[in-house]
Structure formats: structure tokens, C-alpha cells
Structure 1
Amino acid sequence: MCNDYLSRMSDARRHHYVPELLLSGFAVKGKGKELQSTVLDKVTGRTFVSAINNIMVERDFNAVKFKGERLSLENYITTFETEAAPVFKKLIEKETTNFLSDDEKGVISEFVALQLIRGTGHRAIFQQLVVDFRAEMDRRGIPITDDDVPIPDKEDAKMAVLRVIAKSIPEYAAHIVGKEFMIWKAPDDAPFIIGDNPVVLDNSQPAGAFGNIGLAVKGIEIYMPLTSEYLLGMWCNTVRADGQSKLADIEEKHRQIRTLATVGNTRLAEAATEVLKHQGEVDRLRGVFSDVEKGGPVRTTRELALRFNSMQVVFAERYLASKTGTFEPAPEMFAANPSLRQGGPRSTVR
């Protein structure tokens, strides 16, 4: 590990893998004036209310024993949270990203990079990769034993991920900082929720042989909820341009159909009527791209807000937190696909 970042100081022993900086945006003041959030355990289905200092936290989560000493990355990790806090505060106050300086984008990018890999999900991915590798070798008739490639336990996975945190945050952040940043605002009837792996990735581009999820992959979209009302988005610079180009093509085809319909062709007239039914959606998408270009706040429909929430459900390893006590659309998702209760996606980020 990078000893420059390790601390031998007797720092706090309880380490959040989702910081209170984020959790506070999904909490209300309890009777004792502590900030409390409603939590859903997606494995058991149980919900409970807890102070945020007691959720998404584990003892010595960022500490290891090394040559008889307890070494910790907690102090190093906290520096990213401290630097990001005032920037996130301004994002929420201004409801836009258009004021961000290059340095502020750098601060956000490093925080997002850290949050992407610091939690329980990335450690589970590390363990699963070894399991999958051994299974594939066995399928090919090449048995692998524990002496050859042992399956990592929780401590092995912790050490591996902490090494990545200590060495690679700038490398990950470099793939984020140049993206298009924007703020999304939830509608009143569909507040955002947050999971224990809150940085989620999406891509509408075809997957191809090597998939389409990765920080440097064309078309990637990165999202992280800041509060129940605001969500930070970071798009590959091709996303808005491609979307606007496709939208322009649709509008041109609509225009041609409406023009031809005026000459009295009954079938074209019927087509023109059908086109008008969808004009509202075309106008909404045009508004979304306009909002994105301005950095937000991007107008978010209930349907889109629930889609953002569904990504939190899928990526969460176990826990979800809500300010309002509702977790839409988690119940419907679990009913349709019970396997979603068992951890997050088991693929690594490239």
C-alpha cells in the first residue's frame, strides 16, 4: 500500500462507506435532534429508522493490520469529503453546475471516484471476479486450486480495494472531470433515494463485445444523488449531442409528414394526427437537453425520477436510505425480480 496515505494515528474506528455528507440529504431531525433516515434492507425486506451516524458504517472498514500495526486510510478519505462539502452546498443552493471552476470540477470528480470504489460493492466485485475466473478455468478443463488462486476473503478484498483508493483516485477522476455536469431536480411526488453504492453508471449505447459500462466508455452516464431533491449527473460529451441530433431527425420527419398531410392524403393525415400525440414528449426532451446545456436544474418527470431510483436499487449491495420513508420503485422491482435483493451488479468498472 502507499504508506504516504496511511495513518498510524488512533483515528475513529467507525468508518462510513457512504459519508454523512450524503446521508444527511436523506434525513430528517428526530426527537433527539439527531438526523435520522428510513432504511430498507433489500436482502431481508425490513425497514427501520436510524440515526445516520449508525447506517452504512462498519468498524475499521478502512483499516488493516499490517506487520503488527493497525493502519488506516480513514483520515485520507475524509479529506475528499471535507473538500467536496462546500462545493455540494453551492450546487444545491444554485441548482446548476454552470458556475463550477475547473478546480471545483476536480474536487467533485475525485469525490465521485472515491465513492465509486470505496463501498461494499467494489469489494464484493473483487471477490466475485476470482470466483468467476476459477469457474471459467474449470469449465475449460483447467482446475484451479486454492494453492493456485485462493478465493479472497473479506480482509483480502479490503486490502485490494484500499490499495486502489490509495493509488488510483486521480486516474479514475481524470475520466470524470471532462464530462458534462448537470443537476437534476426531483418532482414532489418522486423524491430521490440513496443506496450503499450511490455512484451508478448507465449507457444507452450498444454493449458490444466488451460491454458498455466504464468511466471512459463512449456514451457513459454517471449519477450520484446529493439529497432527496437533487441528483448530480455527469455525461460523456457525446450524450447530449447525439440526443439532440436524433431529436432533430425526428422533428424533421414529423414536419415532412404534416406537410404532406395537407395535400389530402388520408393515410398521411392519420399519420400526422398520430405525430401530434407525441409532440409533447418531443417538446419535453428538447427542454431536457436545454436544461442540461445550462447545467440544470433539469426538469425530471416522475417516471424519470423513479428510473434514477431504480438504478440505486440495482447497484445497492444491501441498504437503501430514504428521507420520506418511501422507496419507489423497489417493492415492484423485487416482486418482479427477487434476485435483485442479492447484492449489486457483479461487474468491474473500467
Structure 2
Amino acid sequence: MAVRLNLQTDVVRQHTVPRFLLKHFSTPGKGKRLRLYAFDKATGRTYATTPDDATVRNTFYNLDNHPERPSLEPLLGIYEHEAAPVIAGLLRHKDIRQLTADDRYKLAVFVAVQRARTFGELERISGIMSVLVNKMAAIGATEEQAGETLGLSAGGDTKDVFLRQLVHQVSHIDHLLNKDWYLIETKPEHPFYVSDNPVVLENRNDFGPYGNIGLAVPGIQIYLPLSSTLMLAMYCPSIRGKMVRDKQNLQQLLARSPHLIPRHMRPFDMLEHVNRHIDYLLIPLSAENVMYYNSLQVEYAEQYVFSRENEFSLVEKMLGDDERFRTGPRFTF
């Protein structure tokens, strides 16, 4: 017989990124407390903080206008509790192939929920709703009609929409499970950033006006830093398929016409790189590669970027080049 989950909580300070994950980007501070550094994109200020204090928003997951005043905080705690040992195992053995089917499911749930639970996601939903309400008003709909059509509560509270979509992640979990999974590693002297919106998406394909960002879009790449030196990558299967074809073409070229291969191409290094993808092996990064992946964290961060080191020159440069990075991504119509 199923036990009914109690969705009431006394927890006021609620984390939008779990403490256990932030600890993997921390170093020992004074006493027994862990410390990490934060960059506030809104103010340009850098400061030291702790996993206990970072990404905290009071009663963020509470449905305050509901008569029973439920909260999603207990449910999120379950997802975190199930994913934490899976991530700890990856940090220890660094082999994605050791995950069981159950491990993969728990981690897919965690990634899908983490992508949906941030303040940045609430801001994006609010922006979309505002644009749609204005568009509907322009064609004659009243504010009440627009709100009803979009599923807004009385008064147009987009937080209800945000919390509803947070618990409806089943299709997103399936998309993640259908990806090819990898672990990507950097050296301690070139640490990964993590942000208040840590699940980031990238796509090298160009689909013109249709856009190229979405969990089911061909060519999509999904990243979640797991620690300052290890990152989870989930790739569209088409990427590995291309790697297989590239390997076959390169092997044929080496066998039949090695004299046609330019010296700068370094074919054996290319084969090693391709084989790591084909065989799901740990993928090491150069310092330049790390900068690219850190730039995605800066781009997706709604307000805060975190690092174990007090080094945010990349953030400062990106903000200086483009004010668009002061917030996380926004949908446009």
C-alpha cells in the first residue's frame, strides 16, 4: 500500500541548487565550514559564501495561496536523496559505464528536476506569460480570459505555473534517458564553474527560425557540472553516430592515402578523441575547453556563478562584451 507523501514543511530557507551538489565546488574554510566563491552578475560583486547560504530563496517551493499550504520541498528532497549517492559514485570511479539502469533513472530525474526548479526558470516562465497575455489582449481578450487560457490563478500568479511544470517532468526524463551519457574531466587548476541555473543546453546545428535548443532537438548537448573537476554530458545519439562515421573515414584514409593527411590534423590524436566518445570513456579537457563550458554556465546563470576559486575574469569579460548575460536566457517571439 502506497504511503501518502506529506507535502507540508517548516523549512523556510529552500535551495534552488542542492547543498550536496554545491559542496562538490567548495573548499575548507574557517573551522569546519566549507567555502565557495560567488559572482553576482547583477551587481558585479564577488564574495565568499557557503553551500548552506548559496542559492537560498525563502519558501520558494510553497503554494502559499493553497488552503493546505503544501510545498514541493519534501518531494525535491527525495529526488536529491536518491541522486546524491549516484553522483558520489561517479566522482569516485569516473566511469559512466558503471551506472545501473536504476542509477541512470535516478540521475535523469535529478537532472530534469534541477533544470525545472531554478529561479531562472521561474523568470523565463513569467516572461513568456507576460508576452502571451499582451498578445492575447491585443486581439481583444480580457486579462481574466488570457489568464484562464494560460492556466494562471486569480491575479495572474505565474509561480503556480512554475510549480505545476516542476512536477510534470516525465517526458523530459525519457528524453534524457535516450541520450548518450559521458563524463568530462578538468584539472584542479582549471576548475568548472557552477551556477544558480546549472543544467545548460548547447547545439551546434542551425535550424534557422525554428531554433535549436530543446531536449528532443537533433544535435542537442546537455551539461551539468557535478564537481569542480567532473561534468555530466548528455548528447543526442546523432553526435556519436557522426563520431563512428568519422572514425571509419579516418581509418580508410590512414590505410589508403596517409600522404594526403595534413600534418596539423594529428590523426592519431583524433582517433583517440573519437574512440573515447564511441566507447563512453572519460573525456579530458584542455584549459581552453574548460573556458568554453564555463561560458555556458555564465550564460545560463540567472544571477550567481560559483567557483571553488576566487577567479571570475571570464564572467567579467562576458558581461563587458554583452549586457545580455546580466540575466539568464529569455525566450523571444
- Using structure 1 for the length normalisation, give the TM-score: 0.84
Residue equivalent to 2:330: 346
Is the contact between residue 39 and residue 49 of structure 1 (CA under 8 Å) also seen in structure 2?
Answer: yes
- What secondary structure does 1:314 align onto? helix
| Deviation string, structure 1 residues 118-140 (Cα, Å, up to 9, x no partner) | 001111111111233355568xx
Residue equivalent to 2:302: 317
Q: How does 1:1-350 map to 2 (within 5 A)?
A: 7-8=7-8, 10-134=9-133, 142=139, 146-149=143-146, 156-166=157-167, 168-246=168-246, 248-249=248-249, 259=259, 275-279=262-266, 282-327=267-312, 329-341=314-326, 343-347=327-331
Residue equivalent to 1:269: none
> How far apart are the structure 2 equivalents of 1:118 and 1:244?
36
Is the contact between residue 96 and residue 294 of structure 1 (CA under 8 Å) also seen in structure 2?
Answer: no
Identity %: 29
Is the contact between residue 188 and residue 228 of structure 2 (CA under 8 Å) also seen in structure 1?
Answer: no
Runs of 4+ in structure 1 deviating by more than 6 angstroms, as ranges, are 151-155, 253-257
Is the contact between residue 243 and residue 277 of structure 2 (CA under 8 Å) also seen in structure 1?
Answer: no
How far off is 1:217 after superposition? 1.5
| Deviation string, structure 1 residues 273-320 (Cα, Å, up to 9, x no partner) | xx21232xx544432332233433211111111111010000110001
Structure 1 residues 295 and 248: CA distance shift in structure 2, 3 A: closer
> How far apart are the structure 2 equivalents of 1:225 and 1:324?
15
Is the contact between residue 223 and residue 234 of structure 1 (CA under 8 Å) also seen in structure 2?
Answer: yes
Is the contact between residue 181 and residue 232 of structure 1 (CA under 8 Å) also seen in structure 2?
Answer: yes
Structure 2 unaligned blocks of 5 or more: none
Is the contact between residue 195 and residue 306 of structure 2 (CA under 8 Å) also seen in structure 1?
Answer: yes
> How far apart are the structure 2 equivalents of 1:6 and 1:149?
33
How far off is 1:158 after superposition? 2.1
- How many matched pairs? 325
Is the contact between residue 187 and residue 305 of structure 1 (CA under 8 Å) also seen in structure 2?
Answer: no
- What secondary structure does 2:232 align onto? strand
> How far apart are the structure 1 equivalents of 2:52 and 2:230?
21
Q: What amino acid is aligned across from residue 179 of structure 1 in structure 2?
A: K
> How far apart are the structure 1 equivalents of 2:196 and 2:29?
22
> How far apart are the structure 2 equivalents of 1:328 and 1:91?
29
Structure 1 residues 114 and 259: CA distance shift in structure 2, 3 A: same
> How far apart are the structure 2 equivalents of 1:99 and 1:337?
41
Structure 1 residues 339 and 182: CA distance shift in structure 2, 3 A: same
Residue equivalent to 1:266: none
Structure 1 residues 258 and 98: CA distance shift in structure 2, 3 A: closer
> How far apart are the structure 2 equivalents of 1:198 and 1:172?
16
Structure 1 residues 326 and 143: CA distance shift in structure 2, 3 A: farther
Structure 1 unaligned blocks of 5 or more: 261-271
| Deviation string, structure 1 residues 141-196 (Cα, Å, up to 9, x no partner) | 63665344369799823211211222x12221111112111111013442101011
- Using structure 2 for the length normalisation, give the TM-score: 0.88
> How far apart are the structure 1 equivalents of 2:271 and 2:289?
15
Structure 1 residues 129 and 5: CA distance shift in structure 2, 3 A: farther
Q: What amino acid is aligned across from residue 325 of structure 2 in structure 1?
A: L
Q: What amino acid is aligned across from residue 25 of structure 2 in structure 1?
A: F
Q: What amino acid is aligned across from residue 277 of structure 1 in structure 2?
A: H
> How far apart are the structure 2 equivalents of 1:117 and 1:222?
14
How far off is 1:252 after superposition? 5.7
